[in-house]
Structure 1
Amino acid sequence: MTGNGSAKVKDFETVRDHAIIRVLTEGLRAEELLSLRVQDLDLSGHTLVVVPLKGNRDSIDGRIIPLQPKTVKALTRYLRVRSAHALADSSQALWLGTRSRKAVQYMGLYRMVKKRAEQAGYDPSCVSPHSFCHTWCDDLQTAGVSGENIMAIRGWKSPAMLRRYGADMASTRAVNAVQGLGDRH
């Protein structure tokens, strides 16, 4: 990074962490998020491509993930501060670290999510990078997105995965749906 001031590091971390959390809200697995490269983003198209973790990264069989406008804004802001990072030109990794590592690793992601959860007033023991996947699935089901579309975005082959990820909030969704009907007679 340019300069030695801790304010710049803190600003970089804040902007980066916000962008990471926004991308987690799009339903990515931690490993998928951490393997993203700058060239996997298509911010003008409001998408990113998740490339299979196994096999050839240069293949074209990646999953296209639609991004919410706030996620695009957070990524745009992050790319701006990332460009001033000392390792920006030497690393393809999207998420740059602030210490000796070029890229954010899983334990750093895990600690960051816990720290940011606590700062936001959540019980950090109830939040992990993976918990965002469950929330994403519930949000889409609540919004009426078809199971078929959720499975396609997530890359699931079996509806069992949809049931598993949607089970956490299934009863809440059911109660809200019935209450949304109002008086039936």
Structure 2
Amino acid sequence: PKGVMLTHKNIVSDVLLSSDRVPFEFGKFVALSFLPVCHIFERMILYLYQYYSVEIHFAESIDKISDNLKEVKPHVITAVPRLLEKVYDKIIAKGSTVGGINQKMFFWAVELGLEYEPYGANGWWYETQLALARKLVFSKWKEGLGGRIGLIVSGSAALQSRLARVFAAAGIPVMEGYG
């Protein structure tokens, strides 16, 4: 087994340095937690939630995450990249079943999302199309994740850039953590 000795000072400094990078407002956020608390990434995020007085809910099990998302309506969740891949694959599978013009619109929005540049280098035409895609398609993604989701923090492995792009285009930015 591998391990690193972390002092209280290490963890506190991680929380304080991370606090400048997350868009939390004190006491106004709800989080859904389902990663093991023994995982240092999840533990550090839980400390960060406590620092901002975020209301923390713990998922019943991995199988009930979908139900828990609808019940809790979190603003933020932490996830491993594999879970985000499964969520994305499930969304794509559902979009494949709608048929007709709705299916064309769905895949147009996904393709648009895969081209997203997160730092504003998209141009006015792209941004106009993205606003339409967010209203018609991506709003349903957010609804499926509880309706209030505004941030996903991913950790434990590298996230595929296509997932970061498409979720950010949908208005659900994914921040990558370490741990």
Q: Give the TM-score taking structure 1 as reference length.
A: 0.24
For the pair shown, the structure with the greater C-alpha radius of gyration is 1
Q: Give the strand-richer structure, 1 or 2.
A: 2
Q: Give the TM-score taking structure 2 as reference length.
A: 0.25
